Amino acid sequence: MIGALIAAGMVHWNASSHRTRGAIAPPATPVEPIVEAPKISAEEVASIRRAQFYDQQVEPQIAATDQLNRQAADRCVQRIERLVEGYHRGVSPFVDDLTSISTRLGIVGRMPAAWWNEDDRVHQYISQKFEKHLFSQTTLTDDIVGVLQQFRDEVDANQKRLLVDIQASLTTADLPDVNLDSYQPFFEKVARDLQDYSTRQGTSSVANGLTAILVSEAGSYVAISLIGGLLGRMAATGAATAAVGAGAAATGGAAGAGGGSAVGPAGTVIGAVIGLGVGLAIDWYMTDQFQVQLTRQMRGYIDSLSGTLLYGTPVASIDGQPMLGTASQDGGMVAALPIVCDDLRSAYRERFYQQIVQTEVSE
């Protein structure tokens, strides 16, 4: 019995041993080789940090300044519109003065001598009244130059604030290799960029003139030239005489425009308006509608002045007379000011990118 148990145990052991020896162990998982990440140089790290600073700190500041510049451009247009409204308010006093008994007698008393001597004493007489109630060539130019100078001053203040804010952000950033220019050299470079943009893009003469006002130390002289060019368009299109109509008024307006041309486009336009007054003063003896007609014509001229300054061309019509339309025109300040703001924004971006990300050497 014991022998049988021993024999059975030996058989079981042999079978288990055979099964154990016959099993195949699973293969071991291969170990992936360790690949080291490429090393980034200190200069590359610094460049990445500068680019991050530009994206996170500089771009938002440029966007804010761009918005301020566009608001200044809107105010520039609004100031011109208010100027024109002020000129409109002078029409009624001028017409009342011109139709007064004393002025009529003054015109009548001067006409024989003016015709005999072939001089412009009647023109000068009405001119003084026009300048008293409306504007002279000098005051018209000074008014518009003042508006453009305000735009320049606002943009200049926005730029200074932009540079100061970015310099303040740099003081808390660990970017020791970045050194921004001071205001004068920095924006001298911005000015060069602006002029390059105008040249390459072939923008309108008004946009180029506005750019020159911003970047030139002789901004007021540039403004006078710009205004002269715009008023020259008004004179060239015939807006200064087309609204006059037939009769002595037309003759007076044309004569006035000719007299004014010797002193520039502003004088041409104003001369035509004054000439209109002379012509209508003569026509007054043939019509009872002198005051109504003169008021309508004067307002038409002022509307043409507004259209020329803002849109680059006079209004579509004056008193029913066809004129050049304004809908498709891009030669005035309304279209030119946003172009100037676009160029300013591009110049800011380029200049700050070069000095911060590319670490352009400051002068």
Crossing angle of the two packed helices 265-283 and 219-236, in degrees rounded to 10: 40
Question: Cβ–Cβ contacts within 10 Å for residue 136, how many?
Answer: 16
Asked if the structure places residue 212 within a domain, the reply is yes
**pLDDT tens per residue across span 221-230:** 677 777 777 7
**pLDDT at residue 232 greater than cutoff 90:** no
Supply the mean pLDDT for the chain: 74
* Cα(311)–Cα(289) distance, integer angstroms: 32
**pLDDT at residue 324 greater than cutoff 50:** no
Q: Residue 241: which of 278, 192, 207, 204 has the closest Cα?
A: 278
Q: Residue 351: which of 143, 197, 187, 204 has the closest Cα?
A: 187
**pLDDT at residue 116 greater than cutoff 60:** yes
pLDDT of 247: 38
Distances (CA, A) of 65 to 217, 299, 360: 22, 38, 22
pLDDT of 117: 66
- The larger pLDDT score, comparing residue 353 to residue 219, is at 353
Q: Which domain covers residue 250, as residue numbers? A: 45-356
pTM > 0.85: yes or no: no
Asked if the structure places residue 107 within a domain, the reply is yes
**pLDDT at residue 89 greater than cutoff 90:** yes
The band of 239, judged by pLDDT with boundaries at 50, 70 and 90, is very low
**pLDDT at residue 323 greater than cutoff 60:** no
Asked if the structure places residue 336 within a domain, the reply is yes
Asked if the structure places residue 333 within a domain, the reply is yes
pLDDT of 62: 96
Name 322's bridge partners: 317
**pLDDT tens per residue across span 24-43:** 555 566 666 665 656 777 77
pLDDT of 74: 97
| Residue 69 in tokens | 């510049």
Share of the chain above pLDDT 90, in %: 21
Distances (CA, A) of 340 to 149, 151, 249: 15, 11, 41
pLDDT of 291: 79
Asked if the structure places residue 30 within a domain, the reply is no
- The larger pLDDT score, comparing residue 321 to residue 51, is at 51
Share of the chain above pLDDT 70, in %: 63
pLDDT of 50: 84
Q: Which of 67-71, 202-206, 345-349, 358-362 comes out lowest in average pLDDT?
A: 358-362
The band of 263, judged by pLDDT with boundaries at 50, 70 and 90, is very low
Asked if the structure places residue 96 within a domain, the reply is yes
Q: Which of 176-185, 192-201, 310-319 comes out lowest in average pLDDT?
A: 310-319
Q: With contact defined as beta carbons under 8 Å apart, do 147 and 83 qualify?
A: yes
Asked if the structure places residue 26 within a domain, the reply is no
- The mean pLDDT of 55-70, rounded to a whole number, is 96
Q: With contact defined as beta carbons under 8 Å apart, do 230 and 206 qualify?
A: yes
The number of domains in the chain is: 1
Handedness of CA 196, 147, 297, 113 (dihedral sign): negative
The band of 83, judged by pLDDT with boundaries at 50, 70 and 90, is very high
**pLDDT tens per residue across span 132-180:** 998 888 888 889 999 999 999 999 999 999 999 998 888 888 777 777 7
pLDDT of 256: 43
| Residue 153 in tokens | 């001053």
Asked if the structure places residue 15 within a domain, the reply is no
**pLDDT at residue 272 greater than cutoff 80:** no
The highest-confidence range among 267-281, 308-322, 335-349, by mean pLDDT, is 335-349
Of the CA atoms within 13 Å of residue 324, those in its CB half-sphere come to 21
The band of 278, judged by pLDDT with boundaries at 50, 70 and 90, is low
- The larger pLDDT score, comparing residue 259 to residue 223, is at 223
